[in-house]
Amino acid sequence: MLSQKTKDTLLGPLNVNNPVVVQILGICSALAVTVQLKPALVMGIAVTIIVAMANVIVSLIRNTIPMRVRIIVQLVVVAALVTLVSEVLKAFAYDVAMQLSVYLGLIITNCILMGRLEAFAMTNKPWDSFLDGLGNGLGYAMILIIVAFFRELLGAGQLMGFQVIPQGFYNFGYENNGMMLMPAMALILVGCVIWAHRAYNDKEGK
Amino acid sequence: MKLNTNSNIYTIVYSAIVVVIVAVVLALANQVLKPLQEKNEQLDKQKQVLGALKVEYGTQDPAVVYTSIVAAGDTILVCKPNTTDTLEVYKAKLEDGSIKYVLPLSGKGLWGGIGGYLALNEDKNTIYGVNFNHEGETPGLGAKIVEMEFREKFEKKHIRNAEGEVVSVAVLKKGKKAEGKQKVDAISGATITSEGVSKMLENNLAEYAEFLKVVPAADPDDEEVEPNKTEEE
């Protein structure tokens, strides 16, 4: 259905060219929002939507952008989109907007956005740029969800806010690992994900 | 004719146009969405007051429940000490007929503002319920102040000491003792947010001094609260 090239554009960022574990972008927000699964999930979706939309817009106007101010123009596009999304959320999904609070604004500073705009959208057609944005957003969301899964499970014994580790474990002396709630542990977990990812891909000979 | 996209004039005109377009789009979105957002904020506030009063509204419209419990005329205005600002206190009448006072709170957490509502019994001493909110405390740590597990620890605590002075309630690490006041266990791992809650209660209760000064008489018919006299020991 899709040609090999478009397939690579969409699926590459999920594995061999993952923005977080290969390009090491967007680490700061990956540490901040991964204490629980729910904000990580919403953040992943928000970034996916915004990076895809920003990619399309920048790709549409790429031939008109003056080279010397291109970064500023990209930044304005991203900032406008983030503000728009936050306004719409406040009007139609107030609870979600409150939960994301500061992180929503932090999307502007997510390096993945600027990275994709500069590296891809500036030189490619809108449809390809859309797929690239989608792929990178999902690749980012995937890592966030993996890290958040372990942090919430081991740090609070919960998933999506529901208790999954039965009370019986605690009666036997099991304790939640408070370290998991600290940002430092998120960095170590991201490191572990990178390790597993590299080991797997090396074996595959990629 | 092909435009030279690298010329100075083009760059300046282009930037100006982009900024104007973005400004118009954002201003338009803000104007269109503002009524909806304000309605949401209002509704959120009412839900939080209901939360502090521990009123379950289930599938009912929270706005309707709110109006039935906190009638429009029942907002008491209190002067902030040494200023002309006024603070609001909501007087609520629950289904069982008991009167509660709801005091809005605001303070500082670790990353940003925290706030909440404190519901007091008619004696202006016993805490009936609390509700907290925050702008961006750490999920899983400071953000736990919104959870029932933390909030219900405040219930039935007294904000006055044995002499009747308003001393607030301290939020302290498990095992630590509060001097001359009652305490609530802090959230482990969220020391600064817990301290913030403690300070918020103390500072805000001090601001409501005028309202809290007058202890209502034991006579249940005497509902009128005159904020200006009596109670000199």
Within the 172-201 window of chain A, which residues sit less than 8 Å (CB to CB) from chain B?
178, 181
- The low-confidence residues of chain B, meaning pLDDT below 50, are 219-233
Question: Partners of B127 in the beta sheet?
Answer: B120
With beta carbons under 8 A apart, name residues in chain B contacting A90: 33, 37, 40
Dihedral (Cα; A188, A192, A195, A199), 10-degree rounding: 170
Residues 6+ apart with CB under 8 A from B217: none
Q: Looking at residue B224, what is its pLDDT?
A: 44
Is the minimum CB–CB distance between A68 and chain B shorter than 8 Å? yes
Distance CA B25, CA B20 (A): 9
B33 to chain A: closest CA residue: A91
Q: Looking at residue B216, what is its pLDDT?
A: 59
Q: How far is CA B44 from the centre of its chain?
A: 11
Report if pTM > 0.90: no
B133 to chain A: closest CA residue: A98
Phi-psi region of B164 (alpha: psi -120 to 50; beta: other; left: phi over 0): left
pLDDT digits (tens, 9 = 90+) for A30-61: 887 888 888 888 888 888 999 999 999 999 98
Asked whether B207 and B81 are in contact (CB, 8 A), the reply is yes
Is the minimum CB–CB distance between A157 and chain B shorter than 8 Å? no
Test the B interface: residue of A33, A57, A68 with most B CBs within 10 Å: A68
Q: Looking at residue A205, what is its pLDDT?
A: 63
Is A181–B18 a contact, with Cβ atoms under 8 angstroms apart? no
Is the minimum CB–CB distance between A102 and chain B shorter than 8 Å? yes
Asked whether A56 and A134 are in contact (CB, 8 A), the reply is no
Q: Looking at residue B2, what is its pLDDT?
A: 62
Q: Looking at residue B231, what is its pLDDT?
A: 42
With beta carbons under 8 A apart, name residues in chain A contacting B40: 90-91, 94
Asked whether B126 and B98 are in contact (CB, 8 A), the reply is no
Q: Name the residue ranges covered by the structural domains of chain A.
A: 19-204
Q: Which residue has the higher pLDDT, A117 or A168?
A: A117
pLDDT digits (tens, 9 = 90+) for B25-82: 999 999 999 999 898 888 888 888 888 888 887 777 777 888 777 765 567 777 777 7
| Predicted ipTM beyond 0.85 | no
Q: Stretch A121-138: mean pLDDT, rounded?
A: 90
A65 to chain B, closest Cα gap in Å: 7
Most confident of A93-102, A121-130, B72-81: A121-130
Q: How far is CA A171 from the centre of its chain?
A: 37
Is B136–A102 a contact, with Cβ atoms under 8 angstroms apart? yes
A79 to chain B, closest Cα gap in Å: 9
Q: How many CB pairs under 8 A join A and B?
A: 81
Chain B residues bordering chain A (beta-carbon distance below 8 Å): 5-6, 10-11, 14-15, 18-19, 22, 25-26, 29-30, 33, 36-37, 40-41, 43-44, 111-112, 133, 135-136, 138-141, 188-189
Q: How many CA atoms lie within 13 A of B171 on its CB side?
A: 23
Is the minimum CB–CB distance between A93 and chain B shorter than 8 Å? no
Q: Looking at residue A56, what is its pLDDT?
A: 94
With beta carbons under 8 A apart, name residues in chain B contacting A76: 18-19, 22
Is A36–B44 a contact, with Cβ atoms under 8 angstroms apart? no
Q: Looking at residue B220, what is its pLDDT?
A: 47
